[in-house]
Amino acid sequence: MGVLSGIDNITGWALLQKNSAAIEASYAATSSSAADIAYFKSVAPTLTTPAKLLANYRALTFVATAYGLGSQVDQTAILQKLMTQNPNSTSSLAQQLSDNNYRVFANALSNWTPPPFSTQSGVNAAIAGYQLHSFDASVGTDSPSLREALYFTQTAKGATSLYQLMSDPALLNVVTTALGIPAAFGNLTFQQQVAILTPRVNMSQFSTTAGVAKFVNQYLAMDQVNQITAGSTASDPLLALFGNGGNNSGSATTSQGITLPTSSSGSGSTVNLLA
């Protein structure tokens, strides 16, 4: 169980906003976090090359978690390339992968002269990242939606381009959910997605903490509506039959007037951008 077991998302989010420091401290005291940090500190001076980091699974797990790639710790070929290629090169793996965490990892660990953990600031940055992401993962054990809300809060502030949001699947999911855009959005071409999002996403709102918080609250509210709707449809065969207004045309329509195809194939696919 995670740190917010048995609590609904709206209440959980309110608790995180009001008592985040106390909740994080409680998590740190009851998890393996302290032991993991102590171990990393003890071996950090020995992690002088990518090969040495890859050879120490416990240290690699710590570092991958610190940069948001804890679930990719076994993908050593990918991690090795991220640590040995120039992350700014257009041909680098970091630039080809959609998840921004790959670029964050590569930017932090692609220069080993000197090694990234040879300084106290480098060690402290890894520890701070580990504490942040391991806590987020614990929250996600109870609620993936709350984990995405945390991630959006930590990442979206300061974003100035729609492409920054679209290049990160987790950020994009928060955006489309908050705007009531259905899953069929993923079947559209990139250009069609941009055309839908551009008039609907006010990037200036992400310049302030209050603006990001307001958008996250909208995301959680819509996510809860979606969960209630999904539960009602699943339990009531009549709703399952008529819940989409009898629409059997292969498209999904939202309350904001966006009509999306359920499949990107076929010449009859259309996108209605009228709000």
Whichever domain contains 28, its CATH number is: 1.10.3700.10
pLDDT higher than 70, residue 246:
no
Tell which of 124, 142, 160 closes a domain: 142
Q: Per the structure, how many domains does the chain have?
A: 2
Residue 208, SS3 per DSSP: coil
Whole-prediction pTM value?
A: 0.73
Mean pLDDT (whole number) for 30-45: 92
**Residue 205 has what pLDDT?**
96
Residues spanned by the domain of 254: 150-261
Tell which of 114, 142, 170 closes a domain: 142
**Residue 267 has what pLDDT?**
43
Cα–Cα distances in angstroms (integers) from residue 132 to residues 103, 151, 256, in the given order = 18, 10, 35
**What is the rounded CA–CA span in Å between residue 40 and residue 114?**
18
What is the helix (H) or strand (E) element at residue 62, kind and residue range? helix 57-66
Q: Taken in order 166, 168, 173, 179, is the CA torsion positive or negative? A: negative
Lowest-pLDDT range of 199-208, 223-232, 258-267 = 258-267
**Residue 264 has what pLDDT?**
45
Do 99 and 180 lie in a common domain?
no
Which residues touch 38 (CB under 8 Å, ≥6 apart)?
none
Do 29 and 102 lie in a common domain?
yes
Tell which of 82, 112, 142 closes a domain: 142
Task: Write phi, then psi, for 252 (nearest 5 degrees).
Answer: -120, 130
How does residue 262 score in pLDDT terms, banded at 50, 70 and 90? Answer: very low
**Residue 4 has what pLDDT?**
72
Do 107 and 176 lie in a common domain?
no
Range list of β-strands (E), the chain: 251-253, 259-261
Three-point CA angle 39, 40, 42, nearest 5° = 65
How does residue 130 score in pLDDT terms, banded at 50, 70 and 90? Answer: very high
Do 163 and 256 lie in a common domain?
yes
Higher pLDDT residue, 47 or 12?
Answer: 47
How many residues does this entry show for the chain?
A: 275
Tokens representing residue 160 in the block = 């100035």
Whether 268 maps to a domain, the answer reads no
Whether 40 maps to a domain, the answer reads yes
Whether 273 maps to a domain, the answer reads no
Task: Write phi, then psi, for 251 (nearest 5 degrees).
Answer: -135, 160
Do 103 and 202 lie in a common domain?
no
The residue type at 218 = Q
Do 69 and 134 lie in a common domain?
yes
Do 41 and 69 lie in a common domain?
yes
**Residue 265 has what pLDDT?**
41
Q: Give the chain's end-to-end CA distance (angstroms, integer).
A: 42
Whether 270 maps to a domain, the answer reads no
Burial of 260 per CB tally in 10 Å (0-12, 13-18, 19+): buried
Do 24 and 90 lie in a common domain?
yes
Whether 25 maps to a domain, the answer reads yes
Whether 274 maps to a domain, the answer reads no
Mean pLDDT (whole number) for 210-232: 90
**What is the rounded CA–CA span in Å between residue 275 and residue 255?**
9
Do 207 and 189 lie in a common domain?
yes
Do 95 and 218 lie in a common domain?
no
Whether 194 maps to a domain, the answer reads yes
Note if the bond before 45 is cis, omega within 30 degrees.
Answer: no
Rounded to the nearest 10 degrees, the angle between the axes of helix 120-142 and helix 9-30 is: 130
Which residues touch 100 (CB under 8 Å, ≥6 apart)?
155, 167, 168, 171
Whether 266 maps to a domain, the answer reads no
pLDDT higher than 70, residue 229:
yes
**Residue 233 has what pLDDT?**
55
Do 137 and 240 lie in a common domain?
no
